[in-house]
Amino acid sequence: MSQYLVLKALHVLGAAILLGTGTGIAFFMLMAHRTRDAAFVARTAATVVVADALFTATAVIAQPVTGYLLVRETGRSLTEGWIALSLGLYLVAGLFWLPVVWIQARMRDLAAEAARGRGPLPATYHRLFRLWFTCGVPGFGSVLATGWLMIAKPSLWG
């Protein structure tokens, strides 16, 4: 198998992990949140934090590495329109993902504290959930747009 096919397979796998883990995390956090059950939210958020550390973080590192190696392997340029836009969107996604990692951990801790005290989820948790959700829209949207650019490779400029 050629080096190009190995790199492409790794790059596509990384994209699938980013999309799949992002979708799964969003779904499970939203479903847990809707129950308003502090213990359930705490357990779900704890799993989400681990999944983000194992899967998302690994893919976040692998994507630019395999992407750069693919650019080099194919003789393309990082300034080619769709590639440059993909890199910009990737940075946008990262700027929204980094606070989300902290927010998820904080939500987990707040929910666990509420569960230990057998109380409701505190107002701080609800504020963080709204911020988490708000950051998720442009963050995940950027990942989706980057995936489309990777597949379509449109001619955008020069």
The whole-chain average pLDDT of the chain stands at 95
Q: pLDDT by residue (tens digit) across 30-68?
A: 999 999 999 999 999 999 999 999 999 999 999 999 999
Mean pLDDT, residues 73-81 taken together: 94
pTM of the model: 0.89
Q: What pLDDT, in 10s, does the model give residues 81-140?
A: 999 999 999 999 999 999 999 999 999 999 999 999 999 999 999 999 999 999 999 999
Encoded amino acid at 16, one letter: A
d(CA 23, CA 27): 6
- Residues constituting the chain: 158
Return d(Cα 158, Cα 155) in angstroms, integer.
8
**Domain-by-domain residue ranges, the chain?**
3-152
Residue 82's closest CA among 151, 139, 142? 151
Asked if residue 29 has pLDDT above 80, the reply is: yes
Indicate whether 80 pLDDT > 80.
Answer: yes
**Closest listed residue to residue 63, CA positions, set 112, 15, 16, 97:** 15
Residue 30 contacts residue 140 (beta carbons within 8 Å): no
